[in-house]
Each structure stands twice: as structure tokens, then as C-alpha cells.
Structure 1
Amino acid sequence: MGTLIWTELKVLSRSVEFLVITIAFPMVFFLVMSEVFGSDRAGGLDMNTYMMISMAAFGAMSVAFAVGPRVGLERQAGWNRQLRLTPLPGWGYVAVKITVAMILALPAVLLVFLSGLLIKGIELTAGQWLAIVLSCWISSLPFVVLGLLIGMAVKPESAQPLGLAVYLPMAMLGGLWMPVDILPGFMATLAKVLPSYWLAEITRDRLTGVALDLLGVGVLAAWFLVALSLVIGLYRRDAARV
């Protein structure tokens, strides 16, 4: 498992397109969006801090939905079948994919936060920085499994387009591109059943002093468990074909 994780990380790190679009783009988007909203406030935070957390969440989602659909290409090339002929257990394959995506999501999150600190001059204590980094990173886990689910569920040529079709609306409806407060009422209600909303909201709560929202934790856990169970089922289906 360790060798496979290292191999996948090396392959992905050599892709300039992957590094720029999935890791660097959210930082650029944050710098632009923070200028658009100016000095407004939302959710008890200044807009720079609010959008910084939103774009860090968007960055974590971007990585998750970029890494997962690559499974479709691996299935097409027969790589998955070769791995099933090795001693690597099925749970190990799924764990490797999740681990790789989580490792790569961390730089995307950190880059946005570093731009907030160094470019926008956002001032937080060391404890607050650590809290929002860990919260944003750990809360992105459901998206890692969702990306993997898409890669395993559809044809290889459909995985990337479907990933975009899922995560872009989820980011928008989850209030990552604009505060949920300015969305129409029905959209604000819909946001609260999406993991994208809670990914950012739970992270913002680490700065506003609000207690951990159990509803948000439940929503994230539900999305994670449902997606994981489907991933396991799809892997077993593919394994039965060997």
C-alpha cells in the first residue's frame, strides 16, 4: 500500500495541469472573489476571512473530484485488474485512493490559507490557523469518496465531465462562491443538506466560537458512509469479473 501511494503521488505531481487547475486555481479564485465582495461581512466574519475559508473548501473539493475520476482511466487501461491479481486487498485499494486524495487536498487548502495570511493580511492566532486547516481538511473526506464513486460508477470518458457536473453546482449551491445569506430562500434551505455547505460552515465556526454543529457532522458523515458503501459495492462488482 505504501509503495502504491508513493507511486500515485509521483504520477500526479508530474501533471502540471493537475497542479495548476486543482491546487493553484482556488487560491487565484479567492484573491479575485475577495476583491469583488470588498469590505462586506458575512457569517460573523470579514469577507476576506469568509471567502478564504470558502475557497479553501473549494480547493479540497477540486482535488477530490480530480483524483477520483482518474479511476475510470485506470479501469479502461486494465490497471485495476492488474492490482486485483496482486496481494493488495480490496479494502487496501480503496484506502490507497482515499489516502492519496487526502494528501493532495492538504496543499490546496494550505495554499489558500497562506495567500490569506501573506497577501490579504488576515490575522489569526496560531491555534485558529491550525483549527481551520484541520477542520477544512478532515471535513473534505466525503468529497474524496464521492469523487472515487464517480470514477468507479461510470464509463471512463464520462467520469471527468460528470465530476464537474456534480462538484461545480454543489460548490455554488453550498455557498462557496457567495454567502448563503444572499441566495434565494429555497436555495439556502437546499444548501444545508449538502456537504459543501457544512465543510465551510463547520470550519468558519472554529473562528466564531460556535460549538460544533452536530447536524453538520451528521450530514457529512451520512454522505461519507453512503458513498463509501457504494464504492465498496462497485469494487466487489468489478472484482467478480476477474
Structure 2
Amino acid sequence: MKNINTQININVKRLLLRNKRSVIFTLIFPLFFYVLYTSIFTFPMTDEMMIAWQKDYLISMLVYGVLMTSIITVGNALLVDHMNHFDLFVELSPTPKWQYVLTVVLVYIPFYILLMVLLGITALIVNQVTLTPIQWLGTIVINLLGMIPFGLIGVLVSYGGTPTVVNIVGNLLTFPLAILGGLWWPLDYMPGFLQTIGKGLVTYQIAELNRQWIHDSIIAWDMVIGVVIWTILLAALIFVLQLLLKRREAQLI
């Protein structure tokens, strides 16, 4: 545990404090879209529906912020470490490779907490939206758990090989996952076949976990099972890719 804490402290300095512009941009993006879609581009609806929409979109932007950071930022961080041969240093050290990857994913927890605080303040000031302490606690736990499958997608993206490929693939995954997962607008506005696809995505499942918690104070166990299945499948895919890469490197030698 001490070793993990040390690595996290090092990664905070390497990945967060030295990349302030990237962190600020990633914070501003969800805040901008929250204000845009809850105060400017709004649909005709009753006051009760408007309050529910403002809360739902708060959740959507929380999930979107975690999604964007986990895929694009984590993917780029791992790729840069590979290009700088930092991961080679890790392989030669007693530290397991999985522990190094885990610390890169976990290092963004302070960022996620900050994003939740800023979005909560924005929702309060702009729309007078409030959540109870229990609702906030549940939302924080759900989104921190959600960063695991999102982080695994970021690990997969890092295998792109170049910053250009990683950014292109990262964006090609982030935006469809957000749109089809119902983060930017409700799935009800989409064709039936897209709704079916969207409800199977991990983004929808994590957002729905949040929504059912803040509206009904219940845990949607079917969504939990879906997130667990996604996590297992993504972890298995990374394991297989690692084996294939090691076999390829052995053949080249």
C-alpha cells in the first residue's frame, strides 16, 4: 500500500501538476455543456420536468467528465510513458505492471472530485439544483467505480502507438459512447435501434445508476451487473493484447 501511495504521489506531479492546461480544459468542457443545455438550449417542459432534467444533466456531465478524462487523458499519459520508456523502467523494477497502470488511473481521483464540486456549484448557482449529502455520497461512489471500466478503455486506446492515433481513436470512442449512452440528450429522442444499443453501453449503465440513486434512492443492480460485465470484458481484452504484444516482441528478437 505504501508503494502504491508513493507512485500515486509521483504521478500527481507528473500527470496533473505539469499538465495544468489540459486539466483546466477538461474541467471547463462539462461545465460549459451543462450551462448550455440546461439554461440556453432548453425544451418546453413543466417545472417538475425541468428540475428533473437539470438534475439528470448534472449527472450526465459528471459521467462525461470522467469518461473523457479516463479515455483521452489516461490513454495519452500511458502512451507518453511508453514513448519515454518509463514503462520499460517499470518492467525492470519490482513493481508489477498492473500496479503502475492502476496508479495512473487512480491519480485522477482528485480531478474527478474537483469536477463534481465545480459542477455541483454551477448547478446550484445557475439552476438552484441541490442534492442531499447522501445523494452526493452515492454519486461520488458510483462515478469513482465508473472510472474503472472507463480507465480500461483508456488503457486500450494507449496501444494506438502515436499521439495522433490515440487522440483520434479516443475521440472516436468518447463521443459515440457519450451520445449513444444518453449523456448529451435523452435516449427517448433516438430511433429504437439506437436506444437498444445505447442501453447496452457502460456509459448509459453508469449514468442510469446515478439517476436511479438521486431520484429514487435505489441501487439498480441490473446496471451494476452490466458495469461488472463490461469491466471483466475490457480487462480480458487488455490481457489478451498484452500476451499478443509480448509474443510479437519475442518473435522480433
TM-score, reference length from structure 2: 0.85
Q: Counterpart in 1 of 2:65?
A: 59
1:231 aligns with 2:238: yes
Tell me the alpha carbon deviations over residues 92-115 of structure 1, each in whole angstroms, 9 at most, x when there is no partner.
222212312444333223322232
1:68 aligns with 2:75: yes
Q: Counterpart in 1 of 2:180?
A: 173
Whichever residue aligns with residue 88 of structure 1, its letter is T
Whichever residue aligns with residue 69 of structure 2, its letter is V
- Contact 1:109 / 1:137 at 8 angstroms: preserved in 2? no
Query: Equivalences for 1:7-26 in 2 at 5 Å?
Result: 7-11=10-14, 12-26=16-30
What's the RMSD between the two structures over aligned residues?
2.4
Question: Relative to structure 1, is the Cα distance of residues 197 and 45 closer, same or farther in structure 2, using a 3 angstrom cutoff?
Answer: farther
Q: Counterpart in 1 of 2:148?
A: 141
Decide which structure has the larger Cα Rg and report it.
2
Which stretch of structure 1 is more off in the superposition, 210-219 or 231-240?
231-240
Whichever residue aligns with residue 141 of structure 2, its letter is L
Query: Equivalences for 1:123-138 in 2 at 5 Å?
Result: 123-138=130-145
Which stretch of structure 1 is more off in the superposition, 215-224 or 163-172?
215-224
Whichever residue aligns with residue 53 of structure 2, its letter is M
**Which residue of 6, 9, 27 corresponds with 1:3?**
6
Question: Relative to structure 1, is the Cα distance of residues 14 and 2 closer, same or farther in structure 2, using a 3 angstrom cutoff?
Answer: same
Number of matched residues?
241
- Contact 2:38 / 2:57 at 8 angstroms: preserved in 1? yes
TM-score, reference length from structure 1: 0.88
Question: Relative to structure 1, is the Cα distance of residues 124 and 2 closer, same or farther in structure 2, using a 3 angstrom cutoff?
Answer: closer
Deviation at 1:197, TM superposition (A): 0.6
Higher helix share: 2
Separation in 1, partners of 2:246, 2:113: 31
Tell me the alpha carbon deviations over residues 55-100 of structure 1, each in whole angstroms, 9 at most, x when there is no partner.
1110111110112332112212211111211111123222212312
Deviation at 1:159, TM superposition (A): 1.2
**Which residue of 127, 132, 151 corresponds with 1:120?**
127
Question: Relative to structure 1, is the Cα distance of residues 55 and 84 closer, same or farther in structure 2, using a 3 angstrom cutoff?
Answer: same
Question: Relative to structure 1, is the Cα distance of residues 78 and 43 closer, same or farther in structure 2, using a 3 angstrom cutoff?
Answer: farther
1:221 aligns with 2:228: yes
Separation in 1, partners of 2:169, 2:222: 28
Question: Relative to structure 1, is the Cα distance of residues 166 and 231 closer, same or farther in structure 2, using a 3 angstrom cutoff?
Answer: same
Q: Counterpart in 1 of 2:117?
A: 110
Query: Equivalences for 1:144-223 in 2 at 5 Å?
Result: 144-151=151-158, 153-157=159-163, 158-209=165-216, 211-223=218-230
Which stretch of structure 1 is more off in the superposition, 64-73 or 231-240?
231-240
Which stretch of structure 1 is more off in the superposition, 92-101 or 56-65?
92-101
Q: Specify every segment of 5 or more residues in structure 2 that has no aligned partner in the other structure, as ranges.
A: none
- Contact 1:84 / 1:239 at 8 angstroms: preserved in 2? no
Tell me the alpha carbon deviations over residues 185-212 of structure 1, each in whole angstroms, 9 at most, x when there is no partner.
1111111110111111110101221632
Tell me the alpha carbon deviations over residues 165-202 of structure 1, each in whole angstroms, 9 at most, x when there is no partner.
10111101111000111111111111111011111111
